[in-house]
Chains A and B, each alone.
Chain A
Amino acid sequence: MIELDLSLPLAAFPLQVSAKLDSDSVAVLGPSGSGKTSLLESIAGLRAARGRILLDGNRLLDSARGVRLPPERRRIGYVPQDACLFPHLDVRRNVRFGMRTGSREGTFDEAVAILDI
C-alpha cells in the first residue's frame, strides 16, 4: 500500500495529492500538464516534493521528520513514456543494468522471459 500526502511544485501550480493506494494496479488520469509524470517521479524519488510517502509502512519521504530516501534506496522501478533505454549499452547490458554482484542469475532469465525477447 502506498500512502501519499504530497505537495508538488509544478510549473503552473502546486499539486496537492492525498491518497491511499491499495490495489495491484492504479491508473492516474488527467489532462497534459496536470502533473501525472511529476507525481510518478516524486514517488520514485526522482523529483523533489514535500510531505509524506509511505510504501508498505516504509517512510520514503517525510518532510516533517527530515526523511528523504534517495531513489536508489526506494527500490521502485520507473519506466518513462518512451522506454528510455541506455543508448550506449546493448540489450543484454540494458537488462542486466540493475543487477548487483549478489543477484541471482535466474532474475535475468525471468526478465527475458517476461519481456519476450
Chain B
Amino acid sequence: MKRLVLAVFFATAIGAAASLTGEILVFGAASLSESLQDAGKQFEANRGGKVAFSFGSSGDLARQIEAGAPADVFFSADTARMDAVEKAGLVKKADRREFLSNALVVIVPSNSTAKLTSARDLESFPKIALADPAAKVPVGLYARQWLTDKGVWSAIELRIIPTLDVRAALAAVAAGDIPVGIVYRTDAAVSKDVKVVYTATDGPPITYSVAPIASSKNAAEAAKFVAFLDSAAGRAIFEKRGFIIK
C-alpha cells in the first residue's frame, strides 16, 4: 500500500512539474499566423514560457478540439466556432475574449487589370477562390453572408472554388491559378503577389474569439497568454498587422 501511494505521488509530482515547464499549444485561425507568432515571441521574451502554434481553418481546429486535440488556447475567426467548443464543455463562457475584428477584401493577382466597383462585379469572373463555407471556415461564412445580403450569392455560387482555409485561397490567387478571391484584409497584406480591388465596408460584423481550453493541463499558463493577447501590448501587435480592435 505504501509503495502504491509513493508511486502515485511521484507520478503526480512529475506530471505537475511537466505542466509547469510545459509549452502551451495555441490553435489559431490561419489569418492569425503572423500576428500570433509575433505575440508568442513577445510573451516568451517577457515570461519565459514557450508557445507553440497550430494554424488552420477555425472549422477544422474546432472539430479537432472537440475530438480531444491537446490545445491549450483556441483563437477562432468567428464566435460560432467558439460557441461549438463551449457547448462541448471545453471552454468557459467567462473566459472568452472578443476584442478582434477584420475586414473582407476582394483580391486579384498583382499583374491583373481587373477592377471591381461593387460586389456584383464578381459575376464577371469565371472562378472565385473562397475558403469553403460548407466546411464552416469563418471567412467563407462571412463572405457568403455578405454576398447573400447583396443579392449576388446565388449568381456566383457555382463559380466558387472552395479551399481548405483562407491562406489556400490567398495562395491560389497569388499564383494566378484563380483570377479572384475573397480573403481578410490582413491576409492580402501578407502577399506581394496579390492586390486588393475592393473592400467590403458593408459586410457582416466580423468578430474573432479567443479563450483558454478549460480542460487543458496548462490552464494557468494558457489563461496568462490569453490575458496578454487582450492587453494593450497584445492588442498593439494585432493593430500593427492591420487587424481592427473592437
Asked if chains A and B are in direct contact (CB within 8 A), the reply is: no
Q: Which A residues fall within an 8 A CB radius of B?
A: none
Q: Which B residues fall within an 8 A CB radius of A?
A: none
